Amino acid sequence: MTGACIIDNTDIDTLGMFVMRGGDADLLTFPERKDPQKNVWFEQDGEDVDLSEIYFNAKKTAIKFYLNAISGEQFVARLTAFENLMLAPGLRSIYLREFDKTFMLRYTGCPAFAQKGGLIKSGKKSAEITVDFMMDDPLQVYDLSVGSPLSGATNDTYVKINGTEFSNYGITVKKIYDTALALPEIKSGLIRNNAAMTGQLADVDFTPKRQSRKIAIECYMRAATRSEFYRNYNALFNQLRKTGSQTLTINNTHDIKCYYNSMSSFAKDRPFSAAAHIQFTLNLTEVFL
């Protein structure tokens, strides 16, 4: 696995280490949007949101490493070398051949460490090491110049974002209706309640206004090559990071105004060397204009 992961010019294969399968998926997730300024007015549907600007939070990410050694002495030496690598001044430059990208990350800690084989007895030693990093510049992963997707997918999903079919990004929409078409919560009127009364008194002498719905789009994205994946993935991110509201269209008839919040449940189904197959959920918030 020589050359698969290089940290600050050190090939971790020389330390008896490699990145575990699926242990690098956090690196590609879209960053979370910082909450825009908003007001919630009782007499209006939804939120009064300022979407004229968009900013993103720094991204906490984790990489899961595997370390192996043939003796306790070698195990401690390799672990110490890795620790010194993590604790060096500055950011860590981490190249991953799986993505053919270099990530600039700041080491923050080790939330999980599972060692096998002990140290005293002879025999193989190993450890699974989860390392937390902070991606202070969450946009470093993306090409912000990519405008349009280019996918070989032909089956429509009947879901569009700003007029572009999700299939154009190589995406099959697994689930959206459960949140996009659900009945909205409403803004409650005044309610009187105290310990000396049964039940409560609620003001119902008004036409209810809707709360903004939280919309979750469960996606399965495929690309035949890594370059095709990056083009479509960048194009999708650049669409979602546009200022102003986004238009989500369902079945070519139903439009919902919304804005991007975050990505969750990211999973990589196979190595990118074979083809890019990933799953994720896009989280959006409805707005009323």
Average pLDDT of the residues of the chain: 93
The pLDDT assigned to 13 comes to: 97
Q: How far apart are CA 34 and CA 32, in angstroms?
A: 6
Which residue, among 215, 217, 189, 199, has the nearest Cα to 280 in the 3D structure?
217
Confidence band of 152 (pLDDT split at 50, 70, 90):
low
Q: Which residue has the tokens 């399968």?
A: 21
The pLDDT assigned to 72 comes to: 93
Confidence band of 289 (pLDDT split at 50, 70, 90):
confident
* 254: its two tokens: 């139903």
Its pTM surpasses 0.85: yes
For 22-69, write each residue's pLDDT tens digit.
Answer: 899 889 999 999 999 999 888 898 889 999 999 999 999 999 999 999
Q: How far apart are CA 162 and CA 164, in angstroms?
A: 6
Whether the predicted pLDDT of 244 surpasses 80: yes
Which residue, among 175, 204, 171, 176, has the nearest Cα to 189 in the 3D structure?
204
